[in-house]
């Protein structure tokens, strides 16, 4: 099983078009040692080495596919190696790319929970819009930890866990999240039983996710914000990390503490990194702390092979 990080930034990307924070300005002017990043998505390839599942369809999907020749299908005049699309939530940064795949020659096979399906059918009716183009063949995900297989992606077993987080502003449960608004995915290579956990949006650690993380060869987890008050402190927004559905890295109970308790041989990788996060500055003390702790920051094009 292979995982390729297509986009490692949170919503807005890095740099974000209208942002003049230290990071965005620095990377734009090349005065900061930092690498631009596109919005949050990974792809998973099964045993046959040919067909892929796309996890989240970011607004940057076209650039991400151009940078990933392995995802180009070449059997027929118009083709793609993406056999299925899996969504971890219904937010814009994970779903705007669906519209950009409308030229597909067959209905898009989209796996998501009932809650995400409802948001993409009503508040932000992407599925209805796509019905006028290629159409959608929606497949349900029940986020209870039970195993399922995705046809076309061979040799991979999947599990989904409901995680604490926020649904999008157009969700009817924006202010009172329900199970299924946000999920974590566990991908298991059937032949070796080794697993990778993918959880780009988690506002609090919970027992079932923690169990899955402890058994994983690699975890790709929420790296959105360094501190809970990151955006208010920069005068950018009033909301704190946890209010936006993201557990910060620093502080008591933060992601660094959890990652520090994982077995020594597991890879710890932060994904969905917001452009305000100081870890994007490769010369920052926060980045040095990650290095000391053996925690990696995902970059676009990073591949993990089990
Ligand atoms: C989030 O996860 O909070 C999102 O990145 C928000 C967005 O896409 O606007
Ligand atoms: Mn997001
Ligand atoms: Zn910024």
Per the structure, the complete domain to which residue 23 belongs is given by: 2-305
- Taking the chain (306 residues) in runs of 10, the rounded mean pLDDT of each run is 98 98 98 98 95 98 98 94 98 98 97 98 98 98 98 96 97 96 98 98 98 98 98 94 97 98 98 98 98 98 97
Q: What is the pLDDT of residue 152?
A: 85
Token pair 């930092």: residue: 34
CATH number, domain of 246, equals: 3.60.15.10
Measured in whole angstroms, the distance separating CA 147 from the mean position of its chain's CA atoms is 20
Ligand nearest to the CA of 92: 1
Q: Tell me which residues have their CB closer than 6 angstroms to ligand 1.
A: 10-11, 91-93, 201, 244-245
CA gap 88, 71 in Å, rounded:
20
The mean pLDDT of the chain is 97
Of 198, 85, 83, residue with least CA distance to 151: 83
Distance 136 CA to ligand 2 centre (A): 22
Mutate to test the pocket of ligand 1, among 7, 9, 10, 14 (most ligand atoms within 8 A of CB): 10
Structural domains of the chain, count: 1
The values of phi and psi at residue 54, to 5°, are: -95, 125
Mutate to test the pocket of ligand 1, among 8, 12, 119, 203 (most ligand atoms within 8 A of CB): 12
Q: What is the pLDDT of residue 293?
A: 98
pLDDT, tens digit, for every residue of 37-85?
Answer: 999 999 999 999 999 999 999 999 999 999 999 999 999 999 999 999 9
């Amino acid at each position: 099983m292979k995982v390729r990080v297509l986009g490692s930034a949170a919503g807005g990307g890095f740099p974000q078009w209208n942002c003049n924070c230290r990071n965005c300005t620095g990377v734009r002017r090349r005065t900061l040692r930092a690498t631009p990043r596109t919005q949050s998505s990974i792809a998973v390839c099964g045993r046959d080495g040919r067909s892929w599942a796309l996890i989240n369809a970011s607004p940057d999907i076209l650039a991400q596919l151009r940078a990933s020749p392995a995802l180009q299908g070449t059997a027929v005049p118009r083709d793609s190696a993406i056999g299925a699309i899996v969504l971890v939530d219904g937010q814009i940064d994970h779903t705007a790319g669906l519209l950009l795949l409308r030229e597909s020659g067959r209905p898009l096979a989209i796996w998501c929970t009932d809650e995400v399906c409802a948001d993409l059918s009503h508040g932000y009716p992407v599925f209805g819009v796509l019905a006028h183009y290629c159409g959608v063949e929606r497949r349900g995900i029940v986020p209870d930890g039970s195993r399922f297989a995705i046809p076309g992606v061979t040799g991979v077993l999947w599990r989904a866990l409901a995680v604490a987080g926020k649904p999008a502003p157009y969700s009817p449960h924006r202010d009172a999240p329900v199970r299924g608004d946000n999920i974590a995915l566990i991908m298991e290579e059937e032949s070796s039983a080794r697993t990778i956990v993918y959880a780009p949006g988690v506002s609090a650690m919970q027992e079932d996710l923690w169990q899955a993380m402890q058994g994983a060869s690699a975890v790709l987890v929420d790296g959105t914000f360094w501190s809970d008050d990151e955006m208010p402190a920069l005068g950018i927004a009033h909301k704190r990390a946890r209010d936006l559905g993201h557990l910060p890295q620093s502080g008591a109970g933060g992601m660094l503490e959890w990652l520090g308790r994982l077995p020594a041989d597991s890879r710890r990788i932060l994904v969905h990194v917001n452009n305000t996060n100081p870890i994007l500055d490769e010369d920052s003390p926060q980045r040095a702390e990650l290095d000391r702790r053996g925690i990696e920051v995902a970059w676009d094009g990073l591949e993990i092979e089990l």
